[in-house]
Structure 1
């Protein structure tokens, strides 16, 4: 099989059109197509230069230019910078497509949304005869207009005044079409960034062998990226949200109690960079627990050992003793309680600076839980809980 084809386009709909297809043997088929006008082209209004996403690094005036199209004919164009109208243009002829431009001076650093809007105008109101009187000397045979004098150079007061007609056209915009918005950035200064803590403890732990590095970051316009480097290693991207950066540091076996150099750098949308570095101490391992023993005191003053879940009948007090944390250098504190709840309130804990003994009175019907917390100088805590213990 073989086929030759020709395709013809017409700007307007035509009648009497037919289509014929023939094979290589001269056998032909003719059909009459159903013609239907396609939809009109869509309205369009957009900023072309500077292109969307452009970063301006000065407050110098810049020319904003774009294109507008409306198949019905252009009437009104408004260009808004953020929420304020910065430019207006109107057309009197049946022009469907036109370029537009104006000079805009950024007031300060920031993010600016450029939004062109098209609208149709209606409601032209004729001039009121009583609004403005014609200047003396104007011929009576001229059509009535309003006239205003041109600004006159004060150095040449003897010059004759000229007059310009002004059109009075109150306009109501309707059928407003919002064009394609574009974002421009104005960024003059570098960002600021900081590392919030140089001591990493259990408070910064996110899990086994993972701690969070974090701190504030800010820029007058927009922070583009924050990166972190550990001990001179590769730069890795951190997360940024709500004026803070966060980075999960995978320790990969880094020893507890060691120091590391953490560098943080921030980049804004203009490529300005800020960098800080600090020595960071890693201490996320809580003290190990020593031996702990539980007992109760009888009315006769004897101390009888007990185990979690025991029911005792002649107890006047519960007692717990604990040994020092293995390897303790004297910096460990001990917070101890016999609380009526599994998790005691902070005010129910008694703090001891050395290993020892803790006693609390009890009464018949009491249910108690024993808690011994080993806390190092940086707040890392290991908690040993036991119970319940019952008094019958």
Structure 2
């Protein structure tokens, strides 16, 4: 007897992805995405251009797949699930540098920058980040009320830190923040995103050229030395610079603002950070905030290069896969009572930074900045409060990285 060939579902019969979070519960997982969980840890959705990629919700399945070399991060695969011009081939060595590559080229390029983000090197920056944070808090307190926490603290702190680490002039922050915002926008059209990326790449290309001729003690100068040695083209170096600059301020800025708002809504949890002198207590709290909020909206996207059995299904070679960290980070098998914010929880198993060879290279820096900013802010401004109702806060449903556009606060 022959086994019947499975009937592929019609796109119209599948749940739609992506889906916005609920305004009633803006810190929680999108309700339509949460509804995928009972369907199994791996299930199909209808996505861009009526493509039907697999969504992986289970923590164990995500952890396994993120370490599976049969999943490719190369954008050029025809089945790659992409919101940008769906169905069109993308260059794996273009817009996002090694993020869109597989080993061994991914590993070769990644090694050129990973040394700048070791725990030892990042810990050496902690006093600098503390001083920068104190200075921006001073400026905010001296300014008018209500203040905008995004403009006055959440965005400038990581922007200044990554600028100094890379060797990017901070006086250009309005330029790179504006273009970064367009690149991560989910409502800007493809032309606008390409232009923003091109402008940023041209800017970094000029800087890399300058650093190649006149090096200093920063990451762009290190990339410039690789260019001079023939190990990188200038364009490859500038693409890596775009990636570092974008990732180094955009994600952390959103975590600072969104985490602050969440804690102001949970004053008992906020007190745990504000009233402790124990670094381990703050570090544990930051891991729980990363787990609970999981600000990357469109998941980690891949293409299967071979058939993969996982979660009771077979993902066929050439099919797209979307790994939703926000669902894995609410998996009750790993995090009991996952919808409760508990800053004493050991949440280190979260996948907010991914896992496997593509885990976030800048995670030590992001962790350290959050560990500095939250307690500094709440100790310096113990009466901090939101100056509007929660329903008036403009959340970033229009971006691939979740957060708030503005956060009016007073004290």
User: What TM-score, normalized to structure 2?
Assistant: 0.20
User: What TM-score, normalized to structure 1?
Assistant: 0.20
Greater strand fraction, Structure 1 or Structure 2: 1
Greater helix fraction, Structure 1 or Structure 2: 2
Larger relative contact order (C-alpha < 8 A, sep ≥ 6)? 2
